[in-house]
Amino acid sequence: MQRSRIAGIGYYVPKNVYSNNDLSRFMDTNDEWIQERTGIKERRFADRLEETTTTMGVEAAKIAIERAGITAQEVDFIIFATLSPDYYFPGCGVLLQREMKMKEIGALDIRNQCSGFVYALSVADQFIKTGMYKNILVVGSEKHSFAMDFETRSRNVSVIFGDGAGAVVLQPTQNENQGILSTHLHSDGADAEILAMYYPGASANKWLKDKPGYPDKELGGLFMTTEQLESGAALPYMDGPAVFKKAVVKFPEVIKEALSANNLTEKDIDMLVPHQANLRISQYVQQLLGLSDDKVFNNIQKYGNTTAASVPIALCEAWEEGKIKEGDLVCLAAFGSGFTWASALIRW
Ligand code: COA
């Protein structure tokens, strides 16, 4: 069966840089705390009015498409991963199709948060392998800044996340020594509520017995009272320490699963590109796998956690810096809300 390969890759980050000290103008936090716990020095925030998750995705896609040596008209399927879509519905895939004046091709949105890009890549890989599509555009993009609360009550969440986008074009290859070797996807919904944004949603209070819910109406009710909005019910919630504990188990597990599925070991990895959740998580995983510094790529220091965009941004930067070369074994791994986690092994 033919494999799929990354034929083009690109990323885009907004020009507005916010350092840790900049954030301390809005909330009770400081550079030392943020760097020590997360490794983050600064992040980018999109222009509030001009930039959206879709428009950032378009900028990354333009570069990936050009590097793949095709035109936007030749893309035959779009997969768009995000947790911060421009609209509640429709998804960003169709907005990107419109913005890039593409043909009337299929567009699929993936909502798998931090592992969204690796899930999207896996879906694209299946379509290429079966021969259904030849040029799939896979995008991960986030405009977190629009939904974050920059008050002290939300400081454990809002210092971590940043905005940006990454994209790849996947094409078939007949070269047996190149391409995606395998992808591995997992989920465990037992702790779905510990890293989540509950509202707006259709659950009312079914899963959230102790949280403020919607007005108790026989029908309808998809609106919130001012009191609920002010109480922070519509803000992202994260139990950071619980996420940390699970992440450091699932990252190495899913990386080892990918290696063993291909009869490879940690020693064969040329570059590990982990989802940029927290520098301490990456360093812990690196240590567990016994990888040297030059075999793990991190850029959370500059961009924070960009969720579905973090893996393609990091992969693209590593490649642009010459740290990934033809023939290298590249491992992508991600973990996040859901929980969902995933890995992909690629012969570059
Ligand atoms: N600035 C200053 N102090 C802060 C702060 C901030 N931005 N955020 C939290 N604190 C305070 C807390 O209020 C708490 O104070 P207290 O001890 O007086 O109650 C203290 O710091 C410790 O909080 P805690 O949440 O236990 O810290 P932590 O060491 O676990 O670090 C995270 C918090 C969020 C950095 C860490 O848990 C983490 O990175 N978890 C993983 C998160 C993640 O990866 N999310 C993305 C998933 S893909």
- CATH homologous superfamily for the domain 3-173: Thiolase/Chalcone synthase (3.40.47.10)
Is 183 within 8 Å of 342 (Cβ atoms)?
yes
The best mutation among 156, 197, 243, 249 to test binding of ligand 1, ranked by most ligand atoms within 8 Å of the C-beta, falls on 156
Q: With bands split at pLDDT 50, 70 and 90, how would you rate the model's confidence at 208?
A: confident
Say what the pLDDT of residue 212 is.
62
Between 11-15, 81-85, 194-198, 241-245, the lowest mean confidence (pLDDT) is in 194-198
Which DSSP string corresponds to 246-311? HHHHHHHHHHHHHHHHTT--GGG-SEEEE--S-HHHHHHHHHHHT--GGGB---HHHH-B-GGGHH
Between 43-57, 212-226, 270-284, 292-306, the lowest mean confidence (pLDDT) is in 212-226
Residues 97-120 have pLDDT tens digits of: 999 999 999 999 999 999 999 999
d(Cα 266, Cα 260) in Å, to the nearest integer? 9
Say what the pLDDT of residue 225 is.
73
Find the mean pLDDT for residues 43-54.
Answer: 97
Active site residue 305: yes
Instruction: Using the mean position of ligand 1's atoms as its centre, give its distance from the Cα of residue 289 in Å.
Output: 25
d(Cα 86, Cα 241) in Å, to the nearest integer? 30
Say what the pLDDT of residue 211 is.
67
Active site residue 275: yes
Q: What is the pTM of this model?
A: 0.96
Q: Whose CA is nearest to atom 47 of ligand 1?
A: 336
Fold of the domain built from segment(s) 179-190+238-347: Peroxisomal Thiolase; Chain A, domain 1 (3.40.47)
Say what the pLDDT of residue 231 is.
76
Residues 23-46 have pLDDT tens digits of: 999 999 999 999 999 999 999 999
Domain ranges for the chain, please list them: 3-173, 179-190+238-347, 198-234
Question: Could you tell me the two tokens for 152?
Answer: 């002290």
Say what the pLDDT of residue 48 is.
93
Task: Answer yes or no: same fold for 3-173 and 179-190+238-347.
Answer: yes
Find the mean pLDDT for residues 133-159.
Answer: 95
Question: Could you tell me the two tokens for 247?
Answer: 């992440």
The CA distances from residue 76 to 107, 136, 217, in Å, are 9, 6, 44
